[in-house]
Structure 1
Amino acid sequence: MTPVAIPPLPFLPEAVVFDMDGLMLDSERAINDCMARAASDLGHDLPASLWLQMIGGGDGLCRRLLADRIGADATVELLARAEAMYDAVADAGIDHRPGIVDLLDWLVARGIPRAVATSTRRPLAMRKLAAAGLLPYFAAVATSSDVAAPKPAPDVCLLAASKLGVAPARCLVLEDSPTGVRAALAAGMTPVQVPDMLVPDDAARALGHRIVASLGDAQRLLEARLAEA
């Protein structure tokens, strides 16, 4: 099959905003595993597709999806068990997604500012970034704790840009999920999607953004644009 050409970036970004889970950290698999184990321990027969529906969403989405299946009280119990499991995983340091350190080092060497925009709550986000050794790379971290509405609302992306002092239109956003892509587009930013567990469907592709196979490919987009500058 002939590879699909990826359109070049229309501008050299003045800042890059990173999603965290599934983009920088291999955490979506860890989260899904903890949720599935907690459900099994409590006797709930839930499909694997349910965990995939939660990718890129905030706490509210997860609670709604579970409550629709097992009820509000059972949801509280399941999430408490899964969160205890996941806390131990996060504190041990979650594996990096391939290419993230190379990309961050490349941006640091060129003085391009970096921020995180994540649907994770602030205390856990900071612990995860610190345990994985990535926190020093970022001048700003914006989380769902800091905004009124989580992704796909633009709030967390706009906050990240504001913290960096860069106009949203001058920011590149790297995301793994369609939910995050929609947030970036709503913020007036340019998203590049690096899918992890979710394969972009027709609805995601219809958004018209760039989709690449790896963080290495995302870096090559930036390298090509810098070469033209």
Structure 2
Amino acid sequence: MNYQAAIFDMDGLLLDTERVCKGVFEEACASLSIPFLEDIYLDIIGRNAQGIEQVIRAGYGSDLDYPVLHEAWRIRYNAVVKHQAIPVKEGVVELLTWLKDHNIPTAVATSTQQDVAKIKLDLAGLSHFFDNLTTGCEVKNGKPDPEIYLLAANRLNINPQQCLAFEDSNNGVLSAVSAKMQTFQIPDLVQPSTEILTLGHTVSDSLSHVLAELKQRKYAA
């Protein structure tokens, strides 16, 4: 494995955010007497704002007042993530520390809008690990398109093929693999689909296991 940088998704990968987001979406639906369609919800994970809207509108149909639902969801979500530190997932700090100790540049490529992403990383105490932050509002085509990963690699001035990418969602994996990055998937709410498993990336239980693998590969080289 030849790599010169590491690029991370944020929600569901660095931070245990997805359960919070799902819970407040359910609350927003209930407040408006709208059914919670779990299969539709799970398909939005990893997408940017535009992609989320497209999936929800298609799944819920033309009768849905999306702006009203989105506002109810946003208010509940921001009330949590803008004021409380989201728990950091297993192995995150250890892996980021190891990469820094080995002078490997790191970046975040998240579909979350920039101001919210900065707050989440600051509250979680992770901001200082990263050399740059690339967010969904900065790209025209969100995940599963590779644009966000290509932009993050460009900002690090590293060839995408020499970047490690870390993702939890299937949409994120498609994005990273399409950018030709060496991709690790650590599933959160959604397990890899049959289609995703054919991509040839590495699936792991946690970032702790990823760190152990990277150490083994490094010292075996």
With structure 2 as the length reference, what TM-score do the two structures score? 0.94
Partners of 1:116 and 1:84 in 2: how far apart? 24
Partners of 2:63 and 2:145 in 1: how far apart? 25
Unaligned runs of 5+ in 1: 1-10
Instruction: Indicate the residue corresponding to 1:8 in structure 2.
Output: none
- Indicate conservation of the 8 Å contact 2:41/2:56, yes or no: no
| Counterpart check, 1:90 vs 2:81 | yes
Change in Cα spacing, 1:196 to 1:82, as seen in structure 2 (3 Å) is same
Partners of 1:17 and 1:139 in 2: how far apart? 10
Aligned match of 1:165 in 141, 151, 157? 157
Unaligned runs of 5+ in 2: none
- Indicate conservation of the 8 Å contact 1:16/1:113, yes or no: yes
Partners of 2:152 and 2:207 in 1: how far apart? 20
Pairs within 5 Å for 1:1-229: 11-68=1-58, 69-71=60-62, 74-91=65-82, 92-229=84-221
- Indicate conservation of the 8 Å contact 1:12/1:226, yes or no: no
Kindly provide the amino acid, as one letter, of the partner of residue 42 in structure 1. L
Q: After TM superposition, what 4+ stretches of structure 1 lie above 6 angstroms from structure 2?
A: none
Which deviates the most, 102-111 or 166-175? 102-111
Which deviates the most, 50-59 or 166-175? 50-59
1:73 positional shift: 5.9
DSSP-derived class of the 1:95 partner: coil
Count of matched residue pairs: 219
Per-residue CA shift, 1:78-114, capped at 9, x if unaligned?
Answer: 1111111111211211111111111111111111110
1:15 positional shift: 0.6
CA RMSD of aligned residues (A): 1.4
Report the identity percentage: 34
